[in-house]
Amino acid sequence: MDKDGTVLSLSIQKTWDSIVCGKHFYKKKSLGGHMKRHPERPWRGLYPPPTSHHAPEACVVCGKRFDSKKALGGHMNQHPERSWRGLLRPTGEPAAARNGNTTVPLQIDLNQPAPEE
Ligand SMILES: [Zn+2]
Ligand SMILES: [Zn+2]
């Protein structure tokens, strides 16, 4: 009577786990809602930011690192002097080729909100 296939397909479904209390969720959205119950966690989002050596998104202009493309996208508004649109330099254009034009020094982003909540 048992249908083996059904059980198997359920067991391989990806789960989203609360890293705080270990609860499992089958939808990212569900975990997102659940994480509001852990306001004490020191990071934002579902999972803690990756540790130092690897940041998912980095600003190609000033090297600042961000947890998400969205955050980086907001930050890129502070580099209106860049000659391309979007987050990344167009491929095929060597960074060194632009050095002659680059007159804008690295800036500290004073307008950035403090990382602490
Ligand atoms: Zn939890
Ligand atoms: Zn930047």
**Which residue, 83, 43, 45, is CA-closest to 61?**
83
Please name which ligand lies nearest the alpha carbon of 23.
1
> How far is the centre of ligand 2, averaged over its atoms, from the C-alpha of 115 (Å)?
15
> How far is the centre of ligand 2, averaged over its atoms, from the C-alpha of 94 (Å)?
18
Rounded to two decimals, the pTM is 0.35
Residue 36 is predicted with a pLDDT of 95
> How far is the centre of ligand 1, averaged over its atoms, from the C-alpha of 22 (Å)?
6
> How far is the centre of ligand 2, averaged over its atoms, from the C-alpha of 58 (Å)?
8
Please name which ligand lies nearest the alpha carbon of 71.
2
Per-residue pLDDT tens for 54-100?
A: 567 888 888 888 888 899 999 999 999 888 888 888 876 555 555 55
Please name which ligand lies nearest the alpha carbon of 20.
1
Q: Write a three-state SS string for the chain.
A: CCCHHHHHHHHCCCCEECCCCCCEECCHHHHHHHHHHCCCCCCCCCCCCCCCCCCCEECCCCCCEECCHHHHHHHHCCCCCCCCCCCCCCCCCCHHHHCCCCCCCCCCCCCCCCCCC
Please name which ligand lies nearest the alpha carbon of 88.
2
Per-residue pLDDT tens for 13-63?
A: 789 999 899 999 999 999 999 999 999 988 888 988 765 555 678 888 888
**Comparison of pLDDT for 112 and 15, the residue scoring more:** 15
